[in-house]
Amino acid sequence: MNKTWLITGASSGLGKIMTTQLLERGDRVVATARREQALQELADRYGEQLQVLTLDLTDTTQISRVIDHAFARAGRIDVIVSNAGYGLFGPAEQVSDEQIERVLATNLTGSIQLIRRSLAHLRAQGGGRIVQVSSEGGQIAYPGFSLYHASKWGIEGFVESVAQEVAPFGIDFILAEPGPTGTNFAAALDLATPSGAYQDTPAGQVHAMIKSGEFEIRGDAVNTVAAIIQAADASNPPLRLALGSTAYENIHRVLTERREALEAQRDVALSADSQEV
């Protein structure tokens, strides 16, 4: 049976690929973008199967209006894909206040508000699924991406909590965690103004690798989207979905390291309990 999807950030990258794959298989899509013209070719080809709405995730009032309109037009939305976002790179002390505010308003607060304003509609229709596109960067960290990681670790904590709140209403979540993938992510990076102080540090080395193209990208965007759709179609998908060998290896490594570190401090942890029985 065909589904109806709402996808944010559908004008490029994973969002546009997902929109295209879903339309090709006959599903209906409500696609949002900051510029509707970016999806004009698909709109011309698929007609009423695709509805395009303008949305800037930093505008909370607009989020409410777009969500209400989308549900009113579609009647039912089976899957909401919170995909819009971008990367900010630079040592924490070098990124500007404006850059910090914008990346958090888009990646974190915008995603939170999109989810919050969708929940009442999903409850009213008896359930649904939300796919939050996160990143391996929601569980690991690279030097130079501190504010990007803050947004991804933040949205993952939010989703893990909300998933428990709304499970009784038949609403569930998937946190999609791609590793480095062949999209326009690197080209669209917002960069801090470098001072040179970090040139010979790990952050400087990562920056040099990104600029030179040496940063290894194993993930395929088309395959990544297909895996997300497959998970969203499943009856019982995982809360977290690692995508790509880099994501799997990095997340596996850091989880193993954290578990070992936690086990090593067991006695200290237990010593903090009250001694009164």
For 109-157, the pLDDT digits (tens) are 999 999 999 999 999 999 999 999 999 999 999 999 999 999 999 999 9
Of 54-58, 256-260, 263-267, 273-277, the least confident: 273-277
Q: What is the DSSP code string of 191-205?
A: E----STTTTSHHHH
Both tokens of 213, joined, read 């193209």
Asked whether residue 273 is domain-assigned, the answer is no
Determine the average pLDDT of the residues in 21-43: 93
Residue 245 lies in a domain: yes
Within-domain flag for 154:
yes
Domain assignment of residue 272, yes or no? no
In a domain, 276, yes or no: no
Model's pTM, two decimal places? 0.94
What is the pLDDT, as a whole number, of residue 5?
A: 98
Does the pLDDT at position 38 exceed 90?
Answer: no
The model's confidence at residue 209, banded by pLDDT at 50, 70 and 90, is: confident
Mean pLDDT of 161-183: 95
Q: Which domain holds residue 205?
A: 4-267
- pLDDT tier for residue 277 given thresholds of 50, 70 and 90: low
Q: Is the pLDDT of residue 226 over 90?
A: yes
Residues 54, 258 contacting (CB under 8 angstroms): no
**Structural domain tally of the chain?**
1
Q: Is 275 inside a domain boundary?
A: no
Least confident window among 18-22, 30-34, 191-195: 191-195
Phi, psi at 235, each rounded to 5°: -75, -30
pLDDT band at 204 (very low <50, low <70, confident <90, very high): confident
CATH (domain of 60): 3.40.50.720
**Residues noted as catalytic:** 134, 148, 152
Q: Please list the alpha-helical segments (H only) found in 97-244.
A: 97-103, 111-124, 146-166, 202-212, 221-233
